[in-house]
Amino acid sequence: MAETTTDPLPNLDELMEWSVDKAFTAAMREIAPVGKDGTNTHHRYNFRQAEDVVRACSGPMRKYGLKMFPKVISREHQTRGSNNVTVLEVEWVFRGPSGDTMTDTVTTVGEAADVSDKATNKAMTASEKYALLQAFKIEVDAGDLDDGDRDHPQSVRSPIDWYLEQLRRPEVWYSATALRELVAKAESNGMLKVAMPHNPFCTLEEYIIARGRQVVAEMEERDQQRAESREAVQAQMAAEHPAAVPQNSTPPPATPPPAAPPAPQTVSPPPLPTAAEIQERITEAQSDAAALEALRDQVGPDILQQVVIESRWGKMSAAAAIAMALLELGSPPAPPAADDPQETAPEPPKPKRKQRSATEERARIRMLTEAEIQARMLNISVHEHLADVLPAGSVDPGNVASGVALQQLVRDARPDVLAALIKGGYTKAAELYAALGTSVPAPNIDAIVLAVNEAQPVA
């Protein structure tokens, strides 16, 4: 430890003539080195106590009439977990016994945390300690330059730690909306330009924005893959059923019997409705079971299965839309076509439907309702979504025979649907949907449907 020089106590009248520089130099010669005599038992590190620094300086400063005054330049308050954190920038001015002040001042930053209301007081004490250390160049032991340079533990939280914890949460890391909210919070706290611990050349803002772009790119890639998959399915169906009526096209008029003479125009059968007309009639008759059944009988199940329309359950075949409407009204599903062996296959399971309890039927309806919402958010038809759980050749969601298979399909689709809700800006619906977890059927599916229908998606 370095030795200090002690001058005799000057006469008071003589001292009153000293300049601030002379008094400062005399005090500086008598201030002894200060070591790390304080110990933090919780985090297990040693530190230089503020009271030790003040004690080392106060005697020589009193002896030579040297005074020190603070001026707060800025104050910032943050909240980290349960702690209140204050950061103070303080300018310290030294005044001599004759009343003159130093031209040069000492500016230091003090930071402190407290669960109560003492964070500002502690920050001021920290600023004073470092002002004295810097101003008087107080000597320290070798290898003991500063409180945190060598033996301060990594477990002590820094201002960026809370943001890093948020980024490790899956609901934030995989959500573009949550990442945008995190950027806004960091901006309000002045943390956007803070360097990342693992990369000092990358700020927190750059890191979060880069992750957000990656999340959006991954969503767009998944959407592209789904679109390509749908196109492949449609191409395969067109190859397997070349006689099928193209989507959104006018069905061919009925061909009169070849043996009969041409019928007068006044008694010829009316032309079949177009896809747009079918969609309009289903919308008008969705609360009238008799009108829906009459439309189904008039157009025919084969044509309805080939015509795809936009319904309130999403994009699906006209036959499926009529079946969904009749299901809500409590009417039986459409009978299978007599000449289609694929439609006659599901006939044996019909008695099982009658044996379902009221509880089972309610659960099944809730799962089908969620499947409709899922298909809508994934931008596919309900038929495509339920293809794995429907009997071969069926397009009627009411024909789903296995409740267990339907339950698993709904559960497996939830992550992609949640991502689509978030991307589409359905904030309230996304919150309700995320709260479901793996519970199937959803107990609050009506609230989710309402939230989706009332939402104003973000473009």
Distance CA 102, CA 290 (A): 97
What confidence score (pLDDT) does residue 151 get?
Answer: 42
Tell me the average pLDDT across 112-119: 82
Q: Which of 279-283, 326-330, 355-359, 422-426 has the lowest mean pLDDT?
A: 326-330
What confidence score (pLDDT) does residue 18 get?
Answer: 92
What confidence score (pLDDT) does residue 128 get?
Answer: 92
- DSSP code, position 242: T
Distance CA 221, CA 147 (A): 50
Q: pLDDT per residue over 43-52, tens digit each?
A: 455 677 888 8
Q: Is 128 helix (H, G, I), strand (E, B) or coil?
A: helix
What confidence score (pLDDT) does residue 73 get?
Answer: 94
Distance CA 22, CA 15 (A): 10
Distance CA 445, CA 435 (A): 11
Distance CA 433, CA 397 (A): 22
What confidence score (pLDDT) does residue 340 get?
Answer: 42
Q: pLDDT per residue over 72-99, tens digit each?
A: 999 998 877 667 889 999 999 999 999 9
Closest to 395 in 3D by CA, of 341, 334, 328:
334
Band of pLDDT at residue 280, cut at 50, 70 and 90: confident
User: Do 105 and 92 meet the contact criterion of CB atoms below 8 Å apart?
Assistant: yes
306 φ/ψ angles, rounded to the nearest 5 degrees: -90, -20
Give the per-residue SS3 of 44-75.
CEEECCHHHHHHHHHHHHHHCCCEEEEEEEEE
Does residue 339 register a pLDDT over 50? no
Tell me the average pLDDT across 50-60: 89
What confidence score (pLDDT) does residue 283 get?
Answer: 77
Q: Is 169 helix (H, G, I), strand (E, B) or coil?
A: coil
Distance CA 189, CA 174 (A): 23
Does residue 244 register a pLDDT over 60? no
Q: Which residues pair with 78 in a beta bridge?
A: 85
Mean per-residue pLDDT of the chain: 77
With the CA atoms of 227, 232, 235 and 239 taken in that order, what torsion angle do they form, in degrees rounded to the nearest 10?
Answer: -160
What confidence score (pLDDT) does residue 458 get?
Answer: 43
Tell me the average pLDDT across 252-273: 57
Q: Which of 192-196, 254-258, 333-337, 445-449 has the lowest mean pLDDT?
A: 333-337
Band of pLDDT at residue 456, cut at 50, 70 and 90: low
What confidence score (pLDDT) does residue 92 get?
Answer: 95
| Contacts for 365 with CB less than 8 Å, ≥ 6 apart | 327
300 — alpha (psi -120 to 50), left (phi > 0) or beta? left
User: Do 163 and 186 meet the contact criterion of CB atoms below 8 Å apart?
Assistant: yes
Band of pLDDT at residue 42, cut at 50, 70 and 90: very low
What confidence score (pLDDT) does residue 164 get?
Answer: 86
Distance CA 308, CA 251 (A): 12
Q: Which of 126-135, 199-208, 210-219, 264-273 has the lowest mean pLDDT?
A: 264-273
Q: Percent of the chain beyond pLDDT 90? A: 13
Q: Angle 377-379-385 (CA atoms, 0-180°, nearest 5)?
A: 90
Tell me the average pLDDT across 96-114: 91
Does residue 252 register a pLDDT over 50? yes
Distance CA 40, CA 229 (A): 61
User: Do 344 and 418 meet the contact criterion of CB atoms below 8 Å apart?
Assistant: no
Neighbours of 54 (CB within 10 A): 15
293-300 long-range contacts (CB < 8 A, ≥24 apart) are 293/326, 293/331, 295/322, 296/322, 296/334, 299/251, 299/272, 299/273
Tell me the average pLDDT across 350-379: 76
What confidence score (pLDDT) does residue 142 get?
Answer: 46
What confidence score (pLDDT) does residue 217 get?
Answer: 84
Tell me the average pLDDT across 182-201: 83
Band of pLDDT at residue 157, cut at 50, 70 and 90: low
Band of pLDDT at residue 245, cut at 50, 70 and 90: very low
Sign of the four-CA dihedral 279, 280, 286, 290: negative
Q: Angle 405-365-319 (CA atoms, 0-180°, nearest 5)?
A: 90
pTM: 0.33
Q: Which of 21-35, 202-216, 425-439 has the lowest mean pLDDT?
A: 425-439
- DSSP code, position 356: -
Does residue 372 register a pLDDT over 80? yes
Distance CA 252, CA 243 (A): 11
Q: Which of 8-17, 314-323, 345-354, 390-399 has the lowest mean pLDDT?
A: 345-354
199 φ/ψ angles, rounded to the nearest 5 degrees: -150, 95
Q: Angle 282-286-292 (CA atoms, 0-180°, nearest 5)?
A: 65
Distance CA 132, CA 48 (A): 12
Continuous H helices in 252-357: 275-284, 289-299, 301-306, 318-329, 341-344, 350-354
What confidence score (pLDDT) does residue 95 get?
Answer: 95
Does residue 8 register a pLDDT over 80? no
160 or 270, greater pLDDT: 160
